[in-house]
Structure 1
Amino acid sequence: MIDPSIFLVSIFNGLLYASVLFLLSSGLNLIYGVMRIVNLAHGNIFAFGAYACVWLLIAFGIESLPATAWYILPPLFGGAVAAVIAIMVEPTLLRPVYKRPEEFQLIMTFGVLLVLADLMLLLFGPMPLAAREPFFAMGVVDFGGITFPNYNFLVILLGIFVAALLWFLIYRTRLGVMLRATSLDQSMAQAMGVNVKRLMTMTFVIGAFIAGVAGAFLAIKDTATLTLGVNTLVYAFIVMVIGGLGSMKGAFIASLIVGYLRVAVTLLYPEAELMLLWLITAGILLARPQGLFGGR
């Protein structure tokens, strides 16, 4: 019989993992849905946002910011740095390979991933960076002797907020109509007056900004490391395969599936966590290659 407090904390942990995975995979899905590019560099864009946030907190000192600004300004700075990287990368490196075969796109984005990794090493050094004061300042909530950090609730709420915001953007705005039209037929969208090149740059920047903000919030909770982007990218691709490439609904539901599977396996048999997720991913690829909600 599982203790009720452990069960309740496990529910919140599942939501926490799902929120982080959705924040990372939603940007990947948005970029793939419009641009049809599997962006391997997305992981280190995520990590760059994490490093930028922690660097800002360390460089200027926690005491120099009002308490409420700890949770707003540094993550926004991380997102802004990620967006600037996207603005520099997309027109110069990715746009020339849009019409090339997929392997060229994968090689190019993988090259950007490696360049960003070396750039982080050059700028921030090989050691992990941490500025966890905002995390500890929010305190914890007690569930019968088992504590759960209040900051984790903030990350969960961020995931829900971004999911709602992206749904509204895609299905209730003129920009969303252009995004969906470009996703279906770029030539027709361009013939109807859509500036496809500018829209693709905007999509890439929005996806990178979401990743940067997500990395920043995660870095305050844990630490910023050189392997952060690659490690989280593995789980993001699992989410994309299960949910379906380009499907935001699929990313949301698959994030919940993977998040709660991680919690369940960690409680029962932690050594099998990644193995089980890859087995499920392989099963999805064999039985339904387009994912649960992806188009054929």
Structure 2
Amino acid sequence: MGTLIAILLDGAIYTSWLFLVSAGLAFTYGVVRILNVAHGSFYALGGYMAAYLVLHYLATGAPQALSYLVLLGAALIIGLLAGPLIERGFLTRVYGKEEAIQLILTFSIFLIFEDVVKLAWGVQPLFADAPYSFLGLVRIGSVNYAWYSFLLVGLALIVAVALWTLVKGTRFGKVLAAVIEDREISLALGANVPRIYTVAFTMGAIFAALGGAFTAPMVSLVPGIGAEIVVLSFAVVAIGGLGSIEGAALGSLLVGLARATAVQLFPELDLFVIYLIMVAVLLLRPQGLFGRVEVRRI
């Protein structure tokens, strides 16, 4: 029984972490149709900016309870600055081009940001655990869990509900759906497609930065953390279906529970099971669980 509880709780925490980042990747692809390798850079920048600002904020003697707002602010700073910069400055030149060109461009941007992180914060580990330790621990079964971990779960639920409401229940969501369905007709009907692309890409960047910012108090930040998360996010999005928010949620849940199970029962296979699920899903349903088979227009 204790093992089952540990699997469920660890799975929920890992699922939440994955969803925060993979939802942004899925949302971005769903709208602008670009597989953004640089998505991991937004995660890394969000994490480093959050740790940096929290350390400086607490050094002033300010209340620890407000450090969570600093984490949120760091994510917004990175998303609102880096998102439009990359989309307007670079991606507009490769819309409609071959996917290989888009991947090469976004991978190049990713490599540039990797060095930007090293220039800005160095190569030594950066750790700001005050928001994590401030909330204390709760004992569930025989295991102590940080209350902060459940804050991450709550944040992921808020993001999921907000994103679902935006896409399904607002006028902007209807415009998004029209642009996704047919860009040219949307342009002809007066939709400001370039602006929609910028907003959608910026939202994806904010989600990734949010994941990085709220993960920062839980881990030691080192160069290269963006590479790990972008690979995992691509696996989640491939499982769920490119461009599908529901798919990102289900993919995150499957991966989270599978990894938590492996950690408890077969620790050596914790990463293996993730990619085993991806391979199995893609063999049975190449478009992913919620993906659509696209028909090329002639």
* Interval of TM-score (by shorter of Structure 1 and Structure 2): over 0.9
Aligned to 2:200: 203
Q: Which residue of 2 aligns with 1:127?
A: 124
Counterpart of 2:25 in structure 1: which amino acid?
L
Contact 1:81 1:212 in 2 (8 A): yes
**Residues 49 and 78 in structure 1, CA contact (< 8 A), matched pair in contact too:** yes
2:79, 2:209 within 8 Å by CA — same for their partners in 1? yes
Structure 1: gaps of 5 or more residues:
none
Could you say which residue in structure 2 is the equivalent of 1:184? 181
User: How far off its partner does 1:73 sit?
Assistant: 2.1
Contact 2:64 2:130 in 1 (8 A): no
Q: CA deviation at 1:82?
A: 2.9
Task: Please give the alpha-carbon distance, in whole angstroms, between the structure 1 residues aligned to 2:286 and 2:11.
Answer: 26
Residues 254 and 122 (structure 1), Cα distance of their counterparts in 2 relative to 1, 3 Å cut: same
Residue correspondences, number: 293
Q: Note the alpha carbon deviations across 1:85-128, whole angstroms, 9 max, x for none.
A: 11111111111000211111000000000000000010000011
Match of 1:263 among 260, 265, 281: 260
Once the two structures are superposed, residues 220-271 of structure 1 have per-residue CA deviations (whole angstroms, 9 ceiling, x without a partner) of 1112221211111111111101100001111101111000000001111122
| Aligned-partner residue type, residue 134 of structure 2 | A
Greater Cα shift, 110-119 or 72-81: 72-81
CA distance in 1, matches of 2:46, 2:246: 25
Q: Percent identity?
A: 36
Q: Structure 1 residues 184, 35: closer, same or farther in 2, change over 3 A? A: same
Q: Contact 1:62/1:70 (CA < 8 Å) preserved in 2?
A: no
Give, as a single letter, the amino acid of the residue that structure 2 aligns with 1:202.
V
TM-score under structure 2 normalisation?
0.95
CA contact (8 A) 2:22 2:248 kept: yes
- Asked if 1:239 is matched to 2:236, the reply is yes
- Does residue 146 of the first structure (1) align with residue 146 of the second (2)? no
1:193 is aligned, of 185, 190, 194, to 190
- The 1:196/1:262 distance shift into structure 2, 3 A limit, reads same
Q: Structure 2 unaligned segments of length 5 or more: list them.
A: 294-298
Residues 1:134 and 1:62: Cα distance change in structure 2 (over 3 Å): farther
1:55 is matched with 52
Distance 1:145 1:287, change over 3 A: closer
1:66 aligns with 2:99: no
CA contact (8 A) 2:57 2:67 kept: no
